[in-house]
Structure 1
Amino acid sequence: MPSFEEIEDAQRATWAMCSTGWAKWDQVISDQLGPVGDAIIDSLDIRDDQQHLDIASGSGEPGLSVAQLAPAGRVVLTDLAPEMLDIAQQRADRQGITNIRTKVCSADDLPFDDATFDSVSVRFGYMFFPDMAKATSEFARVLKPGGRVCSSVWIRPEANPWTTIPMQAIAAETALPPPDPDGPSMYRCAAAGSVSALYEAAGLCDVTDWEVDVVLTTDSAEQYWEVVSEHVSSAVVALEQVDRPTRERIRAGVIAGVRAHEEGGKVRVPGVARCIVGTKPG
């Protein structure tokens, strides 16, 4: 079994590989995940002077949106992959957002003092943390008393055809290793209550969760293939292992599979996330 350090090294390499796709399809991804970012922000009661920490920021959301709501505050964007944070900084520069800074670090070893932040956001990072309990303890440690942490995870695969369609097409053409139920994977936190239990074990209170619907919208089935094959980490990694003929068969399978979601000249593939919020006593 790989060590946590080896897992993080592999994740860092994967997200570096995916960063080009995240930059290329920024608007498509932002439109899909925007409702989740909005739900996270709404739960955090952002003030004008908010001190906010965004974990696993990737290309910068919801941290950049928090920064716009807190012009007198400060937002720190963190991620394992500097390539992803470079994209976040570029997006901030284009939007004229100056009250942010980026920091490459692991979620379970945060380089910040106790009680530094009013709020913490974790959009789709939890399921990839090697040690979720330790990371949650770190979020609680750096929160000020009364501060809130809100995260999001994906629920069961069958509720998220936007990602299961390409993965099923890949599995039809090449053997995929079964995910370690205790190791990082996209649906590791799908079970209801799994993240809530981590919050409560870390001493957070008033824990609640709710589901948020999302839709991945593309101009065509062909564009859908391009989007998912270039930014969905599990697909990107799997496709790196196959030859060109196999990739072409997978592409054909994905395009055929997504035709059922064509509507009004667009392809609209649904998904469902779960948001979880908790408060540090005090």
Structure 2
Amino acid sequence: MTHNSLDFTSSLQVPETVEDCEKCLHYLEASTQAISEHIRDLEAGSTILDLACGTGEPGLGLVEPRASWRLIGIDGSLPLIEVARMKARQAGLEDRAAFEVMLMDALRLPDASVNAVISRMGALLLGDPAATAREIARVLKPGGRVSIAVWAEAELNPFVFLTQRALATAAPGTSMPDLSGWFRQMASPGIRERWLLDAGLIDVEVKPFEWNVLFEDFESWWSFISGGPHDAVISSLDDRTREDVRVAMSDLLREYERPSGGGFVLPVACQIVRASKAPE
């Protein structure tokens, strides 16, 4: 499938609650470190734009220790933005961090107004990624940088593929969001590079990034995956079928049991996308 054949009018939109967003923070921390490597040496006074910022991370964590940096966080969900604003106040960052409800493929920001654009598991995956790339290029200052972590293929993300396998085994015929198909086309080789290059950015690179996530026991894992994009599906099941799904999931998790016992270690993969805007 070429990048010109994607139908963004039917793009996957997964509503995310504050609870879903908050419980993901710990498990995504490793990807934040990869994001920060490309922007850690930005000049004093830089403004960072965090696309699909959720409840404020990773933007707040990156800006807080750098006293002269400013943050603009945008997300399509008002409840998430309200929590991000609260976190900024609690951290004493309200004078350096602003959060607004906004779509990342239609930014209400001036041209050449930010020094860097970051995102964690949002930009170049949801909405219209090609339009988002154009908006990123528009709002970046000359010499500005892009550093984004975004999901790779669903088959490399146990949060998705284990859940869908358990549902397919124990609840065949259940209607599920086509996460596998969507992630696969979004992560096709060369496609994210092409969006950014077509938008006029330079030094574009997309690299795989992997880390391990520890879940202490089955219940912590079940609590995590039973929300998010599969919440509506799992909630719609009757008690007996839901228990069958739990049993199927428990069987799948055996492959990931810690050798010493006590929990599961699951490998997770994403892509780190980096680019720059040409200097004047």
TM-score range relative to shorter protein: 0.7 to 0.9
Picking from 38, 54, 59, the partner of 1:43 is: 38
What 5-or-longer segments of structure 1 have no aligned partner?
none
Picking from 88, 97, 101, the partner of 2:93 is: 97
Report sequence identity in percent: 25
Aligned CA RMSD, in angstroms, stands at: 2.5
Corresponding residue for residue 140 of structure 1: 137
3-state SS in 2 of match to 1:152: strand
Matched, 1:61 2:54: no
Shift of the 55–261 alpha-carbon distance from structure 1 to 2, 3 Å rule, reads same
CA deviations 1:74-103 (Å, max 9, x no partner) are 101111111222333343344443321111
Corresponding residue for residue 209 of structure 1: 206
Picking from 146, 151, 154, the partner of 2:148 is: 151
Whole-angstrom distance in 2 between the partners of 1:201 and 1:69: 34
Q: How does 1:117-266 map to 2 (within 5 A)?
A: 117-172=114-169, 173=171, 174-177=173-176, 179=178, 185-230=182-227, 233-263=228-258, 264=260, 265-266=262-263
Which amino acid counterpart does residue 50 of structure 1 have in structure 2?
S
3-state SS in 1 of match to 2:57: coil
Matched, 1:82 2:81: no
Matched, 1:32 2:18: no
Whole-angstrom distance in 2 between the partners of 1:21 and 1:72: 31
Corresponding residue for residue 274 of structure 1: 271
Which amino acid counterpart does residue 63 of structure 2 have in structure 1?
A
**How many Å apart are 1:211 and its aligned residue?**
1.6
TM norm structure 1: 0.85
**How many Å apart are 1:66 and its aligned residue?**
2.2
Whole-angstrom distance in 1 between the partners of 2:269 and 2:125: 18
Q: How many residues align?
A: 267
CA deviations 1:255-281 (Å, max 9, x no partner) are 221132121423211111111111111
CA deviations 1:216-240 (Å, max 9, x no partner) are 222101211111112xx32123223
**How many Å apart are 1:160 and its aligned residue?**
2.2
**How many Å apart are 1:207 and its aligned residue?**
0.7
Matched, 1:73 2:69: yes
Shift of the 116–37 alpha-carbon distance from structure 1 to 2, 3 Å rule, reads same
Shift of the 69–187 alpha-carbon distance from structure 1 to 2, 3 Å rule, reads farther
Whole-angstrom distance in 2 between the partners of 1:193 and 1:7: 19
Whole-angstrom distance in 2 between the partners of 1:84 and 1:100: 15
What 5-or-longer segments of structure 2 have no aligned partner?
1-6
Which amino acid counterpart does residue 52 of structure 1 have in structure 2?
I
